[in-house]
């Protein structure tokens, strides 16, 4: 069973630490792990405490053989398909033509506004 995922494996993954300011200090959480969070008085304390909470969270999950979500490597291609009504497609194509640009260029321009 050399392929079994252990604590060291999970701690080596690039989990996303999030820290936000609250009225009473800071709130830190691991984006990918529901329930893995901690309050703190300072940003430094938030990160330090969250590292401990992450370790404890994973140890508990492993102890109960619960599934542990792993970070997903987001690699964006820059492409996506969108279906629009024919009338909107026609309108956008006409506007792109009047601007002298391709439909793709025009849509990128409109989305970036």
Mind giving me the DSSP string for the chain? -TT---HHHHHTS---EEEEEETTEEEEEETTSTT-EEEESSHHHHHHHHHHHHHHHHHHHHHTT------------S-------HHHHHHHHHHHHHHTS-HHHHHHHHHH-
Predicted TM-score (pTM) of this structure: 0.64
Per-residue pLDDT of the chain (113 residues; tens, 9 = 90+): 445 799 999 999 999 999 999 999 999 999 999 999 999 999 999 999 999 999 999 999 999 999 999 998 777 788 888 999 999 999 999 999 999 999 999 998 999 88
Spatial neighbors of 86 by CB under 8 A, at least 6 apart, are none
52, with CB counted inside 10 A (0-12, 13-18, 19+), is exposed
């Amino acid at each position: 069973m050399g392929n079994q995922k252990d604590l060291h494996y999970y701690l080596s993954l690039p989990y996303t630490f999030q820290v936000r300011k609250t009225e009473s200090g800071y709130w830190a959480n691991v984006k990918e792990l529901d329930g893995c969070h901690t309050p703190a008085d300072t940003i430094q304390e938030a990160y330090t405490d969250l590292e401990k909470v992450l370790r404890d969270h994973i140890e508990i999950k492993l102890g109960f053989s619960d599934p542990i979500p792993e970070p997903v490597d987001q690699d964006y291609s820059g492409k996506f398909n969108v279906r629009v009504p024919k009338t909107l497609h026609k309108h956008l194509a006409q506007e792109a033509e009047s601007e002298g640009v391709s439909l793709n260029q025009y849509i990128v321009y409109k989305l970036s506004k």
